[in-house]
A and B are shown apart, each in its own frame.
Chain A
């Protein structure tokens, strides 16, 4: 009797493990949502298994098997296929790895299927979700992904003349005497502030301008204060701001207070800190074709194209957008990292999300681009 319970537990555990290993891969005919890390099946008898196999190989970086298992109708070459998954030019994708996915069919016939996949990436800037559609074809009884021809940015060899402009910070080599180092900190000003409740907590946002004639490194801090004058929490804008502001430049900022409701907040104490910083006026990045549209999932997004107008590669572009209502008040600040590097004189699409509840109120927007370049750092 005393061995009955352990035997049952071992048997149930073994059964669950077997089910986990083979059950998911063999659920033929299921048209549902596949999720989690991919497990390879020897033969893909369903579109889900075909997609699963590809993503399993991508996760393991088994490029030979992944590429050879693509449909014969695939258009891209092996190099562009690999580059599409691994990134290049020091882009964010090249520092990311595919952690998991969720797939759901859009439509399926006997011989072809369309699957929509949410790809979950781990990246140095936090988890990023990517939505992508895959076309699968049944070839000889096996479902395979038909890989489309990818547009990989390439830049012809060229000379781009740049009028170089930068500011260096000289701390002074003289004595450390009182008053001898009279370089004032840059003058920056918070030009707008708005506090709202969101699904994740309280959000304080707005815009800051550098009113000075020199670049400034800017950080905005906010403290939420209750009715008794006691600080509830204080946070900084962290990466939801363009930290280096050139003269007269404006940046949005957003400060998140997770799990805090504004009904408990009596006052918000704002503090903007600006310090002198060496900076360069390049690269200049244009933000083209900005439009608020609905994406394939029905979400409101601001999309457009970034255009690198300089001769320097921007490895990780970061887009920050402020959205205004019809009174010109900032009602939301969104940001997003672009997976691909922005090569000189070339473009990359971007999109940032607008919360559903605010989409109808957005009258205009302002986009700034923060850039991280390996050469500079």
Chain B
């Protein structure tokens, strides 16, 4: 009998601080821990007593990689509480902003965090020595996403233009025009990205998952829809807490999330793709099928292709919005505070991001609950490793460790996000 430990003290090329611990006995895995030691910051604690208008700027600081997602979930939850519906061109502009974030966040992951694993480089800068044109294309594509966010949002990280009811400032068609040329190039580059990622080497690995994502009958989901799963879940976002629960485990400062009576589940690009293929634009659907994927993808290593398809969709959708853009009459719908609860899920680049606020009659936050995508995927990541390691036990320790890191990076985990939320009621009594 031999015992072996695979350990990564500090995971690289993920956002935030985490480690990995796997214990093997002979050829079987006896323990897997995705350790999250990112220090907690207690956002849900200090949101109490803040004004409903402040939640979007405060929660943006949970994550510098996907601040738009936090701002979107926050304003939608507040609008839900206060009985306001933002639609028409203002709603389109919110989709446009989300397109920008998906493009920059996904492209960062595809080119700089994930692809080096497939090609055997420690990072994209070393990769650029042999694949300069590819890395340059990635940086330029990422920049196109950032250009949308920095024009419409004010800056790439922690944008300033989002408010409950709409925006602070609007732009004319002419001011948006330079983006159109940029995005035409970006859409071509995204198509190239799909083709490039499709020919990377992938291990056979399809353990089977319950996928969870938003679903909207007419559009690929960003801000709205019902929450559905590949195993029949179909609920309103306001019912989230009836169906999902979080538990606090000792090795992680991020709460683990699970579906009640069902267990782990999978959120993010692959879940969205599998549950919303028909809502992709024709160009994105065609690129997906030409890349060799079918209408569903079950191999998490291929999430890099799915992410590329979503970048292509986001470029296409952003162009559609910009080409039909008419400046709205007013930047925002005025909102009056009142007591109540508000719920929202939006699709952050890494999957559903749930916000729930309780407000008093002055619009002060009495209670907040936030569930980020990475805490929802934690259990699934650990389960993947339990299944993946025995299949690759013949590899050298160094190689196996690297493959395990790659398996974690399949999820583009954002540990900064996962740690900063976490709230749990289940174990309280």
Instruction: State whether these chains interact.
Output: no
Measuring CB to CB, which residues of chain B are less than 8 angstroms from any residue of chain A?
Answer: none
Measuring CB to CB, which residues of chain A are less than 8 angstroms from any residue of chain B?
Answer: none
